[in-house]
Amino acid sequence: MSNFTLKQDGFNSYTAISNCFIEQFMPYAAGEFVKIYIYLLKCVGENKSELSISKIADAFNNTEKDVVRALKYWQRKGLLRLTFDDENALTSLHIVSLTEVPGSVEEPAPEKLTLNVTDAPIPGQPVHKVPDDPAIPAKKDYSRSEIQMFSGQEELSQLFYIIQKYLGRSLTGQDTNTVLYLYDGLKFPADLIEYLFEYCVSRNHKSIRYIEKTALAWAESGIRSVKAAKLMSAIYTDDCYHVMNAFGLNNRKPTKTESDYVSKWTLSYGFDMQIILAACNKTMDQLHQPSFEYTDAILKNWKSSGVSDAEDIRKLDEAFEMSARKKELKQTKESANTAVNSRFNNFSQRSYDYAALEKKLIGKN
């Protein structure tokens, strides 16, 4: 491939990496993409005005397609501006100053992002199971020709590459079918699918089944953009804080297991924080110490009983207390009957020698 010119806003004799890049872009990018971006910064710092795709590929022992994928990834993120000629050959690459990148300085951090009403989950609304939600299409098995058709799209081709980097392995047929379901069935945009894998893998979940369940939960909650997914993640962080506070554990951060419980209660069970905190308080009242397992058992029972608000909890508690009183009364009656029977059976009964009595009667006669 031909050389292209390389430009930057200002030149340095050293490789300077912005803290903004490290904090807001590097954690969410594939490692190979980060390497290539840093390499471009190095080349600019060394005042190299010309570079080629093949030279970058040779530097990292990658294919030229891998390099192009990385460059287009950073272009989508707004860190690069690429110019191509009529034959689709790269002719110019401009490294954008991070002060010009939308979201790198002026926009707030993800946990403070505002969300459009259409993107936001409705607070307190339970998450429905997939069969009960007509908006969630059933998963299908894509044919070989359909897979080839989708794989021919540049957007999906690059998405498959990024997912393989996240998972650290080649995609299986099941993996590919799931990704196509997310893209074609759930209508997730490619950047949301990319963030989905990044989100799950960052939490040590590489199971394609777990990732699919997370995607379904997002779809049921109305998540259709990366912005909405990041806000959902921030909400879970807040939820963890409330749960930890209810348990009196606000002197430390939640463990991964504890965070998974909170996600389970909000995503899988579909409970709002009011109900979750009620279960936490009940746990403390009964055990006098925090227990995520015990709280999970309470919420699991409430879910099977159809609990949706505080009134349902009150009715369920009343029914439980009434059942307990009936059981206690029954046990009291059974204990009383047992005591009576025991007194009767313990009475010392007289024994008679009927043969001797008969002799006495005969002798008197």
Please report the DSSP string for 204-238 in residue order. Answer: T---HHHHHHHHHHHHHTT--SHHHHHHHHHHHHH
What amino acid is encoded at 266 in this protein? T
4 in Cβ contact with 52 (< 8 Å):
yes
What span, in angstroms and rounded, lies between the C-alpha atoms of 72 and 227?
A: 21
228 in Cβ contact with 117 (< 8 Å):
no
Q: What is the pTM of this model?
A: 0.43
What's the pLDDT at 193?
Answer: 95
Cα 335 to Cα 50, 302, 322, 332, distances in angstroms: 95, 33, 20, 5
50-51: strand order across its sheet = 50-51, 4-8, 90-95, 80-84
What's the pLDDT at 300?
Answer: 92
* Average pLDDT for 88-109: 63
Write out pLDDT tens, residues 303-345: 988 888 889 899 888 888 888 788 878 777 777 666 556 555 5
β 90-95/80-84 pair status? antiparallel
